[in-house]
């Protein structure tokens, strides 16, 4: 049988052991809590990183749409004009469009009854935005107010002071009675494109003559810092013809030449 002194000695030892175990358990619990918090933080950062990387493709897809395109340059001065046939004739509107990559479009439009467009002439000086892979007639279809998928066929060539110019019309108007007539002329040096359409005239020959007359009357007001542009118009003036429908030279192309290839 233990003496009272021995019993008193055992109690402090057990109490110390209990306290040590309790402290160890608290330490383990605290360590596990910190470990779970650390792992949770890492998981949160991983989720945020994955979410951010997941947005990168969509941001890349939206980037081209945010790029600035053509805008009206209201402070720019007209660089071209048409010599008048009579004092009452005037251009209905003259719009200048510029592109951040250097392109410039000078657009002249004429309207008839109910403000309906009857003719348009555009001089496009190409910049870095010019797409060589885009079909030459793609913009012409839009100019003529047709659907983007509307096919065009060549309607012959006319001789102008700028040389041969290709004519186009929608393929479903073979008789040429009501179709407006589009035209297109490209220059490689300087990089320039002259295009437009006319609905003037009741017959296809009359509209050909109207296109030839328009181009023969096109003059340069200022070339800016483009000496090659001034040279192009100076040489063209040496070949300038009149607006007599009888003397206008035009001819139809054969079926083998129905496609527009290269510069005209």
Most confident residue range from 41-50, 64-73, 141-150? 141-150
Cα dihedral: 210, 216, 220, 223 (round 10): 110
**In whole angstroms, what is the distance from residue 185 CA to residue 164 CA?**
8
Least confident interval from 37-46, 108-117, 148-157, 254-263:
254-263
pLDDT of residue 202: 85
How much is the average pLDDT of 96-112? 93
Is residue 241 scored above 50 in pLDDT?
Answer: yes
Beta bridge mates, 56:
none
pLDDT of residue 186: 93
List, for residues 203-236, the tens digit of each pLDDT value: 889 999 999 999 999 999 998 889 999 999 999 9
Most confident residue range from 17-21, 103-107, 109-113, 139-143? 103-107
List, for residues 158-179, the tens digit of each pLDDT value: 999 999 999 999 887 655 456 7
pLDDT of residue 13: 64
Contact yes or no for 186/264 (Cβ under 8 A): yes
- pLDDT band of 89, cuts 50, 70, 90: low
Cβ neighbours of 250 (radius 10 Å): 19
pLDDT of residue 198: 94
Contact yes or no for 163/184 (Cβ under 8 A): no
Is residue 39 classed exposed, middle or buried when 0-12, 13-18 and 19+ CB atoms within 10 A define those classes? Answer: exposed
Least confident interval from 67-71, 82-86, 144-148:
82-86
Specify the DSSP element, H or E, that contains 232. Answer: helix 227-237
Is the CA virtual torsion 139, 144, 145, 151 positive or negative? negative
Is residue 133 scored above 50 in pLDDT?
Answer: yes
How much is the average pLDDT of 74-91? 78
CA dist 43 → 29, 53, 55, 88 (Å): 21, 15, 19, 78
Strand, helix or coil at 118? strand
pLDDT of residue 120: 95
- pLDDT band of 257, cuts 50, 70, 90: very low
Is residue 120 classed exposed, middle or buried when 0-12, 13-18 and 19+ CB atoms within 10 A define those classes? Answer: buried
Q: Does this model's pTM top 0.85?
A: no
Is residue 39 scored above 60 in pLDDT?
Answer: yes
Least confident interval from 58-67, 181-190, 255-264:
255-264
Looking from the CA of 252 toward its CB, the CA atoms found within 13 Å total 8
Structure tokens at 96: 């200048």
Contact yes or no for 208/195 (Cβ under 8 A): no
CA dist 258 → 67, 166, 209, 252 (Å): 37, 10, 21, 10
């Amino acid at each position: 049988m233990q003496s009272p002194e021995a019993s008193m000695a055992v109690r402090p030892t057990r109490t110390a052991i209990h306290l040590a175990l309790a402290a160890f358990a608290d330490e383990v619990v605290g360590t596990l809590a910190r470990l779970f918090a650390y792992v949770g933080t890492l998981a949160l950062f991983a989720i945020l990183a994955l979410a951010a990387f997941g947005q990168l493709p969509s941001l890349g897809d939206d980037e081209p749409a945010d790029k600035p395109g053509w805008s009206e340059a209201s402070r720019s001065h007209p660089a071209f004009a048409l010599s008048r046939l009579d004092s009452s004739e005037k251009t209905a509107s003259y719009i200048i469009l510029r592109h951040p990559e250097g392109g410039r479009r000078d657009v002249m439009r004429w309207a008839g009854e109910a403000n309906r467009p009857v003719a348009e002439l555009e001089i496009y000086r190409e910049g870095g935005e010019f797409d060589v892979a885009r079909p030459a007639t793609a913009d012409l279809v839009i100019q003529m107010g047709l659907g983007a998928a509307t096919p065009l066929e060549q309607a012959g060539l006319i001789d102008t002071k700028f040389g041969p110019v290709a004519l186009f019309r929608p393929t479903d108007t073979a008789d040429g009675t009501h179709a407006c007539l589009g035209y297109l002329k490209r220059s490689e040096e300087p990089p320039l494109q002259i295009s437009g359409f006319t609905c003037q005239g009741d017959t296809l020959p009359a509209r050909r003559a109207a296109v030839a007359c328009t181009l023969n009357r096109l003059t340069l007001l200022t070339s800016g810092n483009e000496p090659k542009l001034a040279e192009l118009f100076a040489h063209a003036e040496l070949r300038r013809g009149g607006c007599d429908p009888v003397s206008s030279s035009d001819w139809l192309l054969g079926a083998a030449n129905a496609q527009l290839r290269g510069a005209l």
